[in-house]
Copies of this chain bind each other. A is one copy, B any other.
Amino acid sequence: MSQGALTIWFTGLPGAGKTTTALALAKAIKEQGGSTPLLLDGDHVRSGLSSDLGFSATDRAEQVRRAGEVALLAAQQGFTSLVSLVSPNADARDAVRRRHLDHGIGFVEIFVATPIEVCTARDPKKLYAQAKAGTLKLMTGAGDPYESPENPDLIIETHLMSTDEIIEQILAALAQR
């Protein structure tokens, strides 16, 4: 049933720019005449599908698994998904990739490699500030580990390039596939 649908997965620290980039990519895909992608971002998944989960390593892995399964199911029906999740655990991300490849569905991992100093300075949701104040536990990048992808399909640097430039970079990488 797939018509070249795939899953594009943005991983990176809180504040790295994952959802901002995913939203801009969705807009660009539509402007190019592509089908509207499904957006699965951490905040929305957390408040709904994964509202029963916390922030332990086990729960984070399960959150990644669920988002991956939704994206896979959608891709099998021809819908491309853009997933923006911290997804700090490399094994959990790799498991999602394997599930996709096992079903013949493309999986593109994009590492949003914004340095922690930049994320902390941006702090759009004031998470780093809360972690520093001790009112937020189990925060990735502020005590909790983030495992960078060893072989991502693409690395983007939102602190060095404009969103427009990054979207060009992503579209070029997708076109090469």
Chain A contacts to B: CB under 8 angstroms: 36, 38-40, 44-45, 48-49, 51-52, 62, 66, 69-70, 72-74, 76-79, 99
CB distance from A144 to the nearest CB of B (A): 23
Contacts of A66 in B (CB 8 A): 49, 66
Q: Taking the full assembly, how many copies of this chain does it contain?
A: 2
Q: A40 to B79, alpha carbons, bound, how many Å?
A: 13
Q: Which residue of B39, B49, B69, B74 contacts A38 across the interface (Cβ within 8 Å)?
A: B74
Q: Which of B44, B48, B51, B70 contacts A49 (CB 8 A)?
A: B70
Chain B hits for A99, CB < 8 A: 48
When distances are taken between beta carbons in the complex, the residues of chain B under 8 Å from A73 are 40, 44-45, 48-49
The docked-state distance in angstroms from the alpha carbon of A70 to that of B45 is: 9
A51 to chain B, nearest CB (A): 8
Determine the chain B residues whose CB is within 8 A of the CB of A49 once the complex forms: 66, 69-70, 73
Residues of B within 8 A of A70 (CB): 49, 70
The one of B36, B48, B62 that contacts A69, using a Cβ cutoff of 8 Å = B48
Contacting residue for A36 out of B40, B51, B72, B78, CB 8 A: B78
With contacts A48-B99, A49-B70 known, what are 16 further pairs, Cβ within 8 A? Answer: A36-B77, A36-B78, A36-B79, A38-B38, A38-B74, A38-B79, A39-B77, A40-B73, A44-B76, A48-B69, A48-B73, A49-B66, A49-B73, A51-B69, A52-B62, A70-B70
